[in-house]
Every structure is written in C-alpha cells, then in structure tokens.
Structure 1
Amino acid sequence: MSIQARIEEKLQALEPDHLEVENESHMHNVPPNSETHFKVTLASSRFEGLMPVKRHQQVYALLAEELTGPVHALALHLYTPQEWTAREGGSPDSPNCRGGGRQ
C-alpha cells in the first residue's frame, strides 16, 4: 500500500466530511516517485470546539508511524464542516519549496 493510501485510510478515524491528501513530493528536491511531502485538507465534526494545535495533535497521533519514517513534511489544513463550507475556495495553495526545482 502506498504511503498516501495509508494516510488516507488512517485519517478515516476522524470521520471526515471532506478529505484530500495530496502528494507534493514532486515540488521538492527528492527522487522521482517519492512519497515524502504531503498536504492534508480535512474537515471533521471531531474538530468542533478545538483550537488548531489540538486538531493537529489528533492527526499527528494517527500518523505517528509515517511521521517517524518516510514522511518528511506534512502540511495540515484542518476545519470543522462549517469552516470548510465557509471557505468556498478549497484547500490553500502550498508555497514553493526552496530548492525544490533542483534535481
């Protein structure tokens, strides 16, 4: 199973209303077909009443194995369903990586 698929599977524990896991490794200075840099956009009612740091801690706990191994970077965009609906623009764009164009 790919790392991206494992991340998607583990995040189902948060019962997401919306989930996007994007492999952004190609934007960084890594070998082709790497799975090291990901962006997660997730909306879940489990985040109701939680500050952002508590939301992040929930995701980090679920992905502890991936974060100690193959995953080098994880961008998290975590919302309640109401916050997600109010965004109207989808997930934020990731910034360009310094040195990401080098190969």
Structure 2
Amino acid sequence: MLPTPEQIKEYIANGIACSHVEVEGDGQHFFATIVSDQFEGLRLVQRHQKVYAALGDRMKSEIHALSFKALTPAEFEAGK
C-alpha cells in the first residue's frame, strides 16, 4: 500500500519537533516543507540527514521519492 501525504507528515513529526510540516504528493512522489528549531546552525546536508533519520527504513521501502525544504522558523518566516 502506498503512503499518503498525511502518513509522511506523521512520520516526520514523530521524529523531529516541528513547528510546521506540510506534505503534498501522489503516493509515490512527495514534496515537504519542514520547519524546526532543530535545524538551527545545521548545514543543508545535516538537515537532510535529520529528516532521513526520522523516516528511517521507510525511505527504502514505502517512500519512492521525497524532496523537501528543511527550514528554521526564521527562514520560513522570511519566505525562503
């Protein structure tokens, strides 16, 4: 069974303390905007590693493709 955007959102929120998570997708390809204080001071690759860690093995089995923005609250407010 293919995951829903709501399930992806839940997976991310369970692994990262987020102030905002939005996920769109068709069951195979997803795009997410993830906003968290935990991204403060992290380089882009470190932010991505944190998101992939939250998703764990689901990236190998359930989720075919995921692109995302991992932003701090200040970056999100600035419209980045």
1:51-66 equivalences in 2 (<5 Å): 51-66=43-58
Contact conserved, 2:29 with 2:66, CA < 8 A, in 1? yes
Structure 1 vs Structure 2 CA RMSD:
1.9
Point out where structure 2 has 5 or more consecutive residues left out of the alignment.
none
Q: Give the structure with the larger strand fraction.
A: 2
Q: How big is each residue's C-alpha offset from its partner over 1:1-57, in whole Å with a ceiling of 9 and x where there is no partner?
A: x7233321121131211110111x3xxxxxxxxx11100101100000000100000
Partner Cα distance (2:11, 2:62) in 1: 15
Partner Cα distance (2:62, 2:10) in 1: 16
The alignment-based identity, stated in percent, is 38
Contact conserved, 2:18 with 2:35, CA < 8 A, in 1? yes
Higher Rg of the two aligned structures: 1
Q: Could you list the runs of 4 or more consecutive aligned residues of structure 1 that deviate by over 4 angstroms after TM superposition? A: none
**Paired residue total:** 78
Q: Tell me the TM-score normalised to structure 1 length.
A: 0.67
Point out where structure 1 has 5 or more consecutive residues left out of the alignment.
26-34, 89-103
Q: Tell me the TM-score normalised to structure 2 length.
A: 0.84
Q: Give the structure with the larger helix fraction.
A: 2
